[in-house]
Amino acid sequence: MTAKDYTPLARHIQLASASERTGRPELPRTGGERATLTAFLDWHRETFALKCAGVAADRMSEKAVPPSGLSLHGLVRHLAGVERWWFRQHFAGEDLPTLHYSDHAPDQDFEWLDGDVAEALALWRGECEHARRIVAAAPSLDATCRSLVTGKEMSLRFILVDLIAEYARHNGHADLLRERIDGATGF
C-alpha cells in the first residue's frame, strides 16, 4: 500500500478485517443510529477485552508506563465503575453504590489493586451486560436522565457517545500498557 492509498477509509477497512480475525463484531456500515452507536460501543468493549486477554493475573496490576498510575487491572475496575455510573446510576436511576470510588479516595479504581483480577473482569462484563439491557429497553435515544453531579438533562444518545469516547481513550492506554507488558500490539 502506498502513502496515497493509505486513507482513513483504507484504515477503517483494515479495522473491519481485523474484526473478523479477532472475533469482534463487524462494525455496521448502514443501519439506524441506535444499532450503530451500540455496535461501536460493543466493538470498543471487545477491543478492551482483547487487550487484557492472555495477560497473567500478576501482570495485570503492573503500572507499566511510569510515572502513570495506570494498569490494565485499574482500567478494568475503572471501566466497570463507568458502566455502572452512566447506565445504571444515571440513566436507569438505580440506587447502587459507586464502584471503586469514594469522595475520600476518588482514585481507588487505579490505586487499590488488591482484588482478584478475574473477579474484576467478571464485574466489568456484568456491568456491560446490565448496560446493554438498559439501552435495549430504552424507548429511544432521546430518552433522558439528569446528571447526578450537575443536574443537567442528558440523553441516552449523549451517554452512548460519551462511553464510546471513554473506551477509545482507555483502549489507547491499554495498548501502551499491553505493549510494555509483553510486546503485544494491534488488537
What pLDDT, in 10s, does the model give residues 40-54?
Answer: 999 999 999 999 999
Parse the chain into domains and list their residue ranges: 32-182
**pLDDT tens-digit series, residues 22-38:** 678 789 899 999 999 99
Span 173-184, pLDDT tens digits: 999 999 999 998
Q: Distance between CA 6 and CA 88 in Å, rounded?
A: 41
As a whole number, the mean pLDDT across the chain is 88
Q: For position 21, what pLDDT does the model report?
A: 54
Query: Considering all CA atoms of the chain, what is the largest pairwise distance in Å, rounded to the nearest integer?
Result: 55
User: Is the peptide bond between 67 and the residue preceding it cis, with omega within 30 degrees of 0?
Assistant: yes
Q: pLDDT tens-digit profile of 146-155?
A: 999 999 999 9
Query: Is the pLDDT confidence value at 5 over 60?
Result: no
Q: Are 115 and 74 in contact (CB under 8 A)?
A: no
CA dist., res. 185 & res. 74, Å (int): 19
- Annotate 30-82 with DSSP letters as a single string: SS-HHHHHHHHHHHHHHHHHHHHTT--HHHHT---STT----HHHHHHHHHHH
In CATH, the number for domain 32-182 is 1.20.120.450
Q: Three-class SS of residue 113?
A: coil
| pTM score of the predicted model | 0.86
Of 78 and 115, the structure prediction assigns the larger pLDDT to 78
More confident residue, 138 or 18: 138
SS3 content of the chain, % helix, strand, coil (to 5): 60, 5, 35
pLDDT at residue 171 in the model: 96
Amino acid 145: pLDDT: 97
For 8-12, 104-108, 150-154, which range has the lowest pLDDT when averaged over its residues?
8-12
| Residue 181, pLDDT score | 93
Q: Which three cell numbers stand for residue 69?
A: 498510575
Terminal Cα-to-Cα distance of the chain (whole angstroms): 20
106: three-class secondary structure by DSSP: coil
